[in-house]
Amino acid sequence: MQATRIIAIRHGETAWNVDTRLQGHLDIALNAKGLWQAAQAARALADEPVAAIYTSDLLRAWHTASAIAQSTGAPQVASQDLRERCFGSFEGKTYAELEAQWPLEAMRWRRREPDWAPPGGESLLALRERIAATVTAFAAQHMGGQIVLVAHGGVMDVLYRLATGQELQAPRTWQLGNATINRLLWTPEGLTLVGWGDARHLEEATLDEGSA
């Protein structure tokens, strides 16, 4: 049976990642390290055959995808359906602020209750449905080929769970590193995991290498 190969990449680092501040749908740009990570990922994928790059339209993902598009020559397509989970009134808050201001809601969030959503936000069930449908729509257009998906930590988490059969409430035992390379295989039956969390391109050099 024919399949579509998928390279899934979380955007590079932002200042809000460092601050453990929930970004959600807020449009936060990459920091200096994030731009470097995007460039390293682009270099690592330069020789990959890529039919198309599908990316969240938020800046942190779009700029990461732009670096990969430049190195691979593949067309870049923005999609709101690849955005991070919407966290509603939680967005812009640090983890510590959430615990202090909304302890009960924060507890439900940390418990990963599938049908619970932050005020004005999106549940994990809704997120999984959105990502599953979006990946199917894009991957089905490229049977026998390879595409790149550039998105967010919550999206990467859902992809891993879909590919491995992990429940939404299962504790996470896998990494969601910025700009690491994750590989999956899509068929009409669903996703399977090929490789996860490849960070060799981020370890071979340092941010300050070659700088005066």
* Residue range(s) defining the domain that contains residue 176: 4-203
Spatial distance between the Cα atoms of 58 and 187, rounded to a whole number of angstroms: 28
Kindly list the distances between the CA atom of residue 55 and the CA atoms of 78, 158, 163, 170, 205, in Å, as whole numbers in the listed order.
5, 16, 19, 27, 26
- Residue 209: per-residue pLDDT: 45
Catalytic residue among 13, 25, 63, 84: 84
For residue 122, tell me if it sits in a domain. yes
Query: Would the pTM count as exceeding 0.75?
Result: yes
11 included as an active-site residue: yes
For residue 209, tell me if it sits in a domain. no
Total domains present in the chain:
1
201 included as an active-site residue: no
**Local confidence pLDDT in tens for the 212 residues of the chain:** 689 999 999 999 999 999 999 999 999 999 999 999 999 999 999 999 999 999 999 999 999 999 999 999 999 999 999 999 999 999 999 999 999 999 999 999 999 999 999 999 999 999 999 999 999 999 999 999 999 999 999 999 999 999 999 999 999 999 999 999 999 999 999 999 999 999 999 996 555 544 33
Q: For 14-59, give the DSSP string.
A: BHHHHTTB--TTS-PPB-HHHHHHHHHHHHHTTTS--SEEEEESSH
CATH code at 80?
3.40.50.1240
For residue 211, tell me if it sits in a domain. no
- Are the beta carbons of 61 and 38 closer than 8 angstroms? no
